[in-house]
Amino acid sequence: MRVLLAEDDKSLGQGISDGLQKLGFCVDWLQDGLSIEHAIMNDDGIDILILDLGLPRKDGLDVLKTIRAADKSVSVLILTARDAVEQRIAGLDLGADDYMLKPFDLHELAARLRAIVRRKSGFTQALLSYGDLQVNLSEHSVKVQGQQVNLSHIEFAILEHLLTHIGQVVSKQRIESLLYGWSEGVESNAIEVHIHHLRKKLGKELIKTLRGLGYMVPKINTDA
């Protein structure tokens, strides 16, 4: 899952960024409102924005107003101080999906991020089943026919994205942008290599290639 973090407090930002990456999130971190707004306007690959409200150059609530007015559907979780009740209400009314009060527990933040993205995908629980494949989105674990399969962070991120967009074609560029925040970088043929590994580990039928368009996990036909 690709996360953009807006936080101008350097030690807090570093802590959240490092912590979420260790938990398997792909995190980009920016420290002022204008840069955040620019990133959201120009990159549709971001799943969720963690938005501090007191930001230099443009206030968090104004950023939220602008991106919702532009019809950007990125999920938003607001970070606020405990006493800023009115700002929280304003944020939710402006289209934020959730909020957390500072200081907070990193694992709770991670769980809320997963819950928001899950709700948006129409899944109500962290455990996804697809044929003989079972994926636990909170534990990042994958089983095939009950047997644990080990995936790299990147492989898991690709699988998670395809499974939460079942029946939709996901372009190679979209997958690249999903992986963009990872420091190891993405080489030009890297997506094919990761897809190849996923097929090897999970079965070659799972992920379809649509030549020139991208990849898809097809819907399971329940009428058959």
Interacting residue ranges for Ca ion, rule: CB under 5 A:
8, 52, 54
| Cα separation, 83 vs 197, whole angstroms | 49
Nearer Cβ to Ca ion, position 14 or 145? 14
Q: State the nearest-atom distance from the C-beta of 31 to Ca ion, in Å.
A: 9
Nearer Cβ to Ca ion, position 8 or 98? 8
| Cα separation, 79 vs 60, whole angstroms | 10
Q: State the nearest-atom distance from the C-beta of 55 to Ca ion, in Å.
A: 6
Nearer Cβ to Ca ion, position 51 or 170? 51
Strand order in the sheet with 141-144: 127-130, 133-136, 141-144, 147-149
| Cα separation, 169 vs 10, whole angstroms | 38
| Cα separation, 45 vs 189, whole angstroms | 19
Q: State the nearest-atom distance from the C-beta of 116 to Ca ion, in Å.
A: 21
Nearer Cβ to Ca ion, position 51 or 142? 51
| Cα separation, 194 vs 155, whole angstroms | 6
Q: State the nearest-atom distance from the C-beta of 129 to Ca ion, in Å.
A: 41
Q: Which residue is nearest to Ca ion (CB)?
A: 54
